[in-house]
Amino acid sequence: MPAVVAIGGGGGKEYPGKLTPFVTITCIVAAMGGLIFGYDIGISGGVTSMDPFLEKFFPSVYRKKHHDKSSNQYCQYDSQTLTMFTSSLYLAALLSSLVASTVTRRFGRKLSMLLGGVLFLAGALINGFAKAVWMLIVGRILLGFGIGFANQSVPLYLSEMAPYKYRGALNIGFQLSITVGILIANVLNYFFAKIKGGWGWRLSLGGAMVPALIISIGSLCLPDTPNSMIERGEHDEAKKMLQRVRGVDDVEEEFNDLVAASEASKQVEHPWRNLLQRKYRPQLTMAILIPFFQQFTGINVIMFYAPVLFSSIGFKDDSALMSAVITGVVNVVATMVSIYGVDKWGRRKLFLEGGFQMIICQAVVAAAIGAKFGIDGNPGDLPKWYAIVVVMFICIYVAGFAWSWGPLGWLVPSEIFPLEIRSAAQSVNVSVNMLFTFLVAQIFLTMLCHMKFGLFIFFGFFVVVMSIFVFYFLPETKGIPIEEMGRVWKTHWFWASFVEGDDDYGNGIQMAKGEQAIKNV
């Protein structure tokens, strides 16, 4: 029995439309919402490796790093207060994403983006002027609220605005912005760490105001999506926007399907409860497992703590920050590969190739660190060539993630949800992502201390499991109009049993059209 039955765009409806300059620019502006997420991921690890920052806020870590020469290098950053500084943001993002679901559904995607930018701006200001640890935590919580709103609204906005033939590439613009944000943060950390007087960390944290202003101002300039306008009863405006977005006047069929989907969604009084219906089991499964697996690739071990990790395995501070810059460059370039290939090669091929690449690299890095550091974490003099080999394989690992699980972890969930559960399901997706990002961030340094090089084997195991999951249970979604996505489950060897016999499946379009026809009679 085959793992899946893949469906191309020619198997169903093909709405007219083209990739217009208007929709391209609109999606680029919206995708910049990823900058705030990426900047924070990159900035936090670099700041926590800066000695003036550690000395001021986390003196016990500073003493362990510089004065306790007997300390196991695996454990020199093991501090729950330090990890709470990083991970509190993701707990706040989890909570805010639940509220963001309602805001996104009732008031549109634009308002959620604006709220995300404003909250992130407030958090950046507090962190930049922080005098005590509690100010850092409060600032991080506000940053988290901002990320929760942005991550809820931006992927949905991109999936709804993009023509279905180009949806993958335009949606991955969000992930590209995340990687650009990480790279910018790593470069700034490298140079700010050299500022005399030791206050460069304030510029790193306060610099988050720039991406916050970009998404805040950008959201005010963006149009709302036709889907969101229809959801709020603005049918005439929605049709005009759809014509402008698609670049053609003949949008009647797509518009009617959007209206029908909206009418069906309004009949759903409790979208959260509706998620539990059997016919939505495939989407709910993906909304939970894809973000879970994305975090357990181990990528945030690299991106959160790249400078800390490199410092812990024998690099000096400047070298650690520069190594993080190198991985940041690889991240951006590899994400561009995904933009080029996602609508050409398909989602499944990228998922599986990226998974294989990450498994190999994790095994090599575990062996390299284990051979040199052993169990006691004292490598002695680390040869330069040896360090280069470790960095090289970490870069290959980052590339594998950046053209597979990185962008596709956001793209696939955002494009498979029917309109009636879309906001709620995306909220589940973001919440699960943030929950496990929080857990990984909170326990990583403790895991590094106790599991040592075995940490890479731990995450490698999950990469094996999730690659098997994709092979058997994830259908191909390239080239499928977002309002026609229901048919991929009806032809899948496993999921078909959950949706069979449900003629109104797929945003309730058939049911809604039938009811409209009866009214017309």
Mean pLDDT of the chain: 82
Q: Quick one: pLDDT at residue 397?
A: 93
Q: In this structure, are residues 479 and 163 in contact, taking their beta carbons and an 8 Å threshold?
A: no
514: confidence class by pLDDT, cuts 50, 70, 90: very low
Q: What is the mean pLDDT of residues 102-113?
A: 85
What does pTM read for this prediction? 0.77
* Assigned token pair, 500: 């069979």
Answer yes or no: is pLDDT of 338 > 90.
yes
Q: Let me know: does 311 contact 320? Beta carbons within 8 Å.
A: yes
Token output for 357: 């690449």
Q: CA 28: distance to chain centroid?
A: 16
Mean pLDDT of 290-297: 92
Closest CA to 485 of 291, 289, 349, 286: 286
Task: Dump pLDDT digits (tens) for 380-420.
Answer: 566 777 777 878 888 899 999 999 999 999 889 888 888 77
Among the ranges given (28-42, 126-140, 373-387), the one the predictor scored with the smallest mean pLDDT: 373-387
Asked whether the predicted pLDDT for residue 315 surpasses 80, the reply is no
Query: Which of 47, 48, 143, 135 minimizes the C-alpha distance to 92?
Result: 143
Report residue 515's pLDDT band, with 50, 70 and 90 as the boundaries.
very low
Total Cβ atoms within 10 A of residue 185: 29
> Cα 80 from chain centroid?
25
CB 321 within 8 A of CB 307: yes
Q: What is the DSSP string of 18-69?
A: ---HHHHHHHHHHHTTHHHHHHHHHHHHHHTT-HHHHHHH-HHHHHHHHT-T
Residue 309's closest CA among 20, 6, 46, 35? 46
State the Cα–Cα distance between residues 508 and 491, nearest whole angstrom: 18
Q: How buried is residue 173: exposed, middle or buried, by Cβ count under 10 Å (0-12/13-18/19+)? A: buried
Q: What are phi and psi of 157, to 5 degrees?
A: -55, -45
CATH 1.20.1250.20 for the 21-224+268-499 domain, yes or no: yes
pLDDT band at 520 (very low <50, low <70, confident <90, very high): very low
pLDDT band, very low/low/confident/very high, at 247 (cuts 50, 70, 90): confident
pLDDT at residue 354 greater than cutoff 50: yes
Mean pLDDT score, 312-341: 81
Express each pLDDT in 263-285 by its tens digit: 877 776 666 778 888 888 999 99
Q: What is the per-residue pLDDT for 21?
A: 87
Asked if residue 117 has pLDDT above 90, the reply is yes
Q: What is the pLDDT of residue 78?
A: 62
Integer Cα distance of 397 and 356 in angstroms: 10
Report residue 375's pLDDT band, with 50, 70 and 90 as the boundaries: low
The answer to whether the Cα torsion of 115, 117, 118, 122 is positive or negative is positive
User: Is the confidence at residue 87, as pLDDT, over 80?
Assistant: no
| pLDDT attached to residue 70 | 52
Q: Is the separation of the CB atoms in 418 and 160 below 8 Å?
A: no
To the nearest 10°, report the CA torsion of 292, 181, 173, 412. Answer: 0
What whole-number distance in Å separates Cα of residue 505 and Cα of residue 300? 37
Tell me, what's the pLDDT at 86? 74
* CA angle, 346 then 326 then 126, to 5°: 95
Q: Which residues, other chains included, contact 278 with Cβ-Cβ below 8 Å and sequence gap of 6+? A: 498
Confidence bin at 509 (pLDDT 50/70/90) = very low
Question: Do residues 76 and 218 lie in contact, with contact meaning Cβ atoms separated by under 8 Å?
Answer: no
pLDDT in tens, 425-477: 888 888 898 888 888 877 776 777 777 778 888 899 999 999 999 999 999 99
- Per-residue HEC secondary structure of 277-309 comes to CHHHHHHHHHHHHHHHHHHCCCHHHHHHHHHHH
Q: Is residue 518 predicted with pLDDT exceeding 60? A: no
Confidence of residue 121 (pLDDT cuts 50, 70, 90): very high
Distance between CA atoms of 251 and 22, rounded to whole angstroms?
16
The predicted-structure confidence for 179-233, as pLDDT tens digits, reads as follows 899 899 989 988 998 888 889 999 999 999 999 999 999 999 888 889 888 888 8
Per-residue pLDDT at 500 exceeds 80: no
Token digits of residue 286? 């993906």
pLDDT at 204: 93
Q: Write down the pLDDT at residue 138.
A: 92
The angle at the Cα of 445, spanning 439 to 451, to the nearest 5 degrees, equals 100
Beta-carbon-side half-sphere exposure of residue 317 (alpha carbons within 13 Å): 17
126 falls in which pLDDT band (50, 70, 90)? very high
Euclidean distance between CA atoms 257 and 279, whole angstroms: 20
CA angle, corner 212, sides to 288 and 311, nearest 5? 70
pLDDT digit string, tens, across residues 15-40: 777 888 888 888 888 898 889 888 98
pLDDT of residue 248: 86
